[in-house]
Amino acid sequence: MDFNDIDLQIMRATQAGLPLVSKPYHAVAEQLNLPVETVMARFEAMQKNGVIRRIGAVPNHYKLGYIFNGMTVWNVPDARVDLLGEIIGRLPFVSHCYHRPRHLPDWNYNLFAMVHGKSEADVHHQIGQIVVLLGEFNLGHDVLYSTKILKKTGFRSGVKNEN
Amino acid sequence: MTKNYDEIDASLINHLQDGFPICDEPYLQVANELGLTEDDVLNRLKKLLENGTLTRFGALYHAEKMGGALTLAALKVPDADFEKVTEIVNAFPEVAHNYQRNHELNMWFVVATETPQQLDETLEKIERQTGLHVFNMPKINEYFVGLKLEA
């Protein structure tokens, strides 16, 4: 089954967070007037079909002391990008890792990895580790630092995403 | 900067980035796995959310799989126009985050809409209103999301 009306109700009820009570799924079920078995089954199903990426905690990197972050961008062979993305994405200091399209000639990078460190030296060291890991598949890279936050809001539309 | 979490918080945050059980008493299960009490887990989560150490705790929904659309886009903005272009881009409610970055592509923003069509329309409007080419970089694939803390 794909995304359905019950899923939409559950999503709307929980997109701000899961209740911090002993039986959170029961609380959601009560709020929506649904049997708790249905709510739990739909959570399972949505997790399985990927509508829910995962249930868990989203840390604020800055508050955790990781105040230096860089958007590292890499030019790797397209044929290898999934394999390399999996490896880079699992590094403990990488929060997000994506394959994105190139825009030649202005933009020749196809792999993005957000790295987070407690100092600028940390970030340089992390980039060095990625360089070593990618080896000959690193055809070029750059790191973009944010120099100013121009806008930061939550997502107010019907759908939400952690990014 | 003072540290607003302790070692137990760090292990809890790391644990909860790997997933959360779907069962009657999931906080109790997490507590048992970490050797804590259920109350301790709930109180720590409340505190970490209140002081902003965690931005969210719950299900992370995948916008695209629900019919929604999301992209990362960049602009090459001439320095003299930066303020004006910022105003134009930020005025779109569909633009969630916008950052200035140290590159020739100097403005990077995330656009989220309820449908792919709305996403295309928003990017077209931004091009029209700014007179700049939008470098649209939707993710083609996503790898593991998460950051592990040093305890």
Cβ within 8 Å, pair B16-A56: yes
Give the model's pLDDT for residue A64: 83
Interface of A with B in 81-140 (CB under 8 A): 81-82, 85-86, 88-90, 92-101, 103, 106-107, 116
- Taking the Cβ of residue B84 and every Cβ of chain A, the question of whether any pair is shorter than 8 Å is answered with no
Query: Of B44, B45, B33, whose CA–CA distance to A57 is shortest?
Result: B45
For residues A112 and B105, is the Cβ–Cβ distance under 8 A?
no
End-to-end CA distance of chain B: 17
**pTM reported for the whole predicted model:** 0.78
How far from B27 is each of A160, B12, B19, CA to CA, in Å? Answer: 24, 11, 12
Half-sphere exposure of B14 (CA within 13 A, CB side): 15
What are the sequence ranges of the domains in chain B? 7-50, 63-136
| Contact at CB, B58 and A15, closer than 8 angstroms | yes
Q: Does B146 touch chain A (CB under 8 A)?
A: yes
Which positions in chain A touch B104 (Cβ < 8 Å)? 106
User: Which of B48, B52, B16, B46 lies closest to B34 in space, CA to CA?
Assistant: B16
CA–CA gap between residue A66 and residue A161 (Å, rounded):
22
Look at residue A50 in the predicted model and tell me its pLDDT. Answer: 87
Q: d(Cα A17, Cα A11) in Å, to the nearest integer?
A: 10
Please tell me the distance from the alpha carbon of residue B58 to that of residue A52, in angstroms, as a whole number. Answer: 10
The stretches in chain A having pLDDT less than 70 are: 1-3, 153-163
Domain B63-136 bears CATH identifier 3.30.70.3460: yes
Q: What is the pLDDT of residue A160?
A: 32
Q: In this predicted structure, what is the pLDDT of residue B1?
A: 47
Q: For residue range B25-37, what is the model confidence (pLDDT) as tens digits? A: 999 999 999 999 9
Do B54 and A60 make contact, defined as CB atoms within 8 angstroms?
A: yes
Q: Please count the residue pairs, one from chain A and one from chain B, whose beta carbons lie less than 8 angstroms apart.
A: 254
Q: Cβ A106–B65 below 8 Å, yes or no?
A: no
* Eight-state DSSP code of residue A107: B
Q: Write down the pLDDT at residue A69.
A: 87
Q: How far apart are CA B71 and CA B119, in angstroms?
A: 8
Query: What integer pLDDT is reported at residue A1 of this predicted model?
Result: 43
Q: Which of B116, B109, B134, B136 is nearest to B69 (CA)?
A: B116
* Inter-residue contact A79 to B132 (CB < 8 Å): no
Q: What's the pLDDT at A161?
A: 35
- Among A97, A105, A52, smallest CA distance to A72 is for A97
Q: Is A147 helix (H, G, I), strand (E, B) or coil?
A: strand
Interface of B with A in 100-139 (CB under 8 A): 100-105, 107-110, 112-114, 135-139
Contact A103, B73 (CB under 8 A): no
Average pLDDT of chain B to the nearest whole number: 92
pLDDT at position B71: 96
B99 vs A95, A103, A149: nearest CB: A149
Interval B100-151: pLDDT, tens: 999 999 999 999 998 999 999 999 999 999 999 999 999 999 997 677 776 5
Length of chain A: 163
pLDDT tens-place string over residues B38-83: 999 999 999 999 998 998 899 988 877 777 899 999 999 999 999 9
